Amino acid sequence: MTALIELRDIRKSFGPVEVLKGVDMEVHPGRVSALVGDNGAGKSTLIKGLAGAQSYDSGEVFFDGQPVTLSSPHDAAALGIEVVYQDLALCENLDIVQNMFLGREEMHQRMLNGPEMERHAAATLASLSVRTIKSVRQKVSLLSGGQRQTVAIARSVLQKARVVILDEPTAALGVVQTEQVLELVRRLADSGVGVLIISHNLADVFAVADHINVLYLGQMVASLEAAKTNRDEVVGYITGTKIRDQLLEEPAL
């Protein structure tokens, strides 16, 4: 199966500091891929390149098997790559419908088509089986963290995203809300979207991911099927102990 996104030998430095040292990674349709790694491993830097927010120094990006350049957020959006950032970038003073269509409002005879947008927003939430939101005309400032995360994810669905990248979507959430957001992430993948989720919470990762990629100091040190690995192994890669063990096991020349 062709990967939706394939990264090959991605490199990025800030001055003398090499932050990404030749990273390979794939995102597949219908699958949840996790990207894990310690603070400063380079996860956000890798994601910013995919979002078109910051360019890589070198390396190749393939979308649907075709080489692409992502030099602006517009390039990424045109391909159907949507990023849900941790701070979400929702507007507090606007309601759910307005937020879901922000910057991409549906026009009808050069007027904003309110009823149409409202129907579309409600249908999108319903298609994702979102039950915790009572009215799409509710202001975002009145929503809980989990509900906001839900709106942000639904927004990407409404924009017909083919790849959704989530940076720490459950970091600020309680137990029940976390569960609901993870269920939503799963449904998103089940609808055929390729999902890439960054998380420090390995319980969340194992609950939702099909595949786990581990970055360690800018290198992709492991790419594992979730069903064939376990928490200890992943922690070993995140902390680097697993890599040191492997180096020690290698026969001396």
Ligand X SMILES: Nc1ncnc2c1ncn2[C@@H]1O[C@H](COP(=O)(O)OP(=O)(O)OP(=O)(O)O)[C@@H](O)[C@H]1O
Identify the burial level of 250 via C-beta atoms within 10 angstroms of its C-beta, where 0-12 means exposed, 13-18 middle and 19 or more buried: exposed
With CA atoms as reference, report the closest residue to 55 among 76, 77, 75, 72. 72
Q: CB 14 → Mg ion: shortest distance, Å?
A: 14
Choose between 86 and 138: whose C-beta lies nearer to ligand X. Answer: 86
For the bound state, the minimum distance from the C-beta of residue 54 to Mg ion, rounded and expressed in Å, comes to 12
Q: How far apart are CB 189 and Mg ion at their closest, in Å?
A: 22
Q: Choose the one of ligand X, Mg ion, none that binds residue 232, judging by a C-beta under 5 to 8 angstroms depending on kind.
A: none
The answer to whether 156 contacts Mg ion (rule: CB under 5 A) is: no
149 near Mg ion, judged by CB under 5 A: no
Secondary structure, 3-state, 190-219: HCCCEEEEECCCHHHHHHHCCEEEEEECCE
Report what 192 binds from Mg ion, ligand X, none; CB cut-off 5-8 Å by kind: none
The structure tokens 């809980």 sit at 144
Closest to ligand X by CB, 83 or 125: 83
Q: How far is the CB of 249 from Mg ion (least distance, A)?
A: 31
User: Which residues of the shown chain bind ligand X in the complex (CB under 6 A)?
Assistant: 14, 19, 37, 39-45
Helical segments of the chain, H only: 43-51, 73-79, 96-100, 114-127, 145-158, 175-190, 202-208, 231-239, 241-249
User: Cα–Cα distance between 226 and 220 in angstroms, integer?
Assistant: 16
Cα Rg of the chain, angstroms: 19
Q: Which CB atom, from 20 or from 97, has the smaller least distance to ligand X?
A: 20
- Least distance to ligand X from the beta carbon of 34, Å? 13
CB atoms < 10 A from the CB of 204, how many?
Answer: 22
Q: Which is nearer to Mg ion, 118 or 167 (CB)?
A: 167
User: Of Mg ion, ligand X, none, which one does residue 80 interact with (CB within 5 to 8 Å by kind)?
Assistant: none
C-beta atoms surrounding 240 within 10 Å: 13
Site for Mg ion in 42-61 (CB under 5 A): 43-44
CB of 56 to ligand X, least distance (A): 12
Residue with tokens 């992709």: 220
Q: Say how far apart CA 115 and CA 24 lie, in whole Å.
A: 45
The reply on whether position 150 binds Mg ion by CB under 5 A is: no
| DSSP 8-state code for residue 95 | B
Q: Kindly list the residues in this chain that would bind Mg ion in the complex (CB under 5 A).
A: 43-44
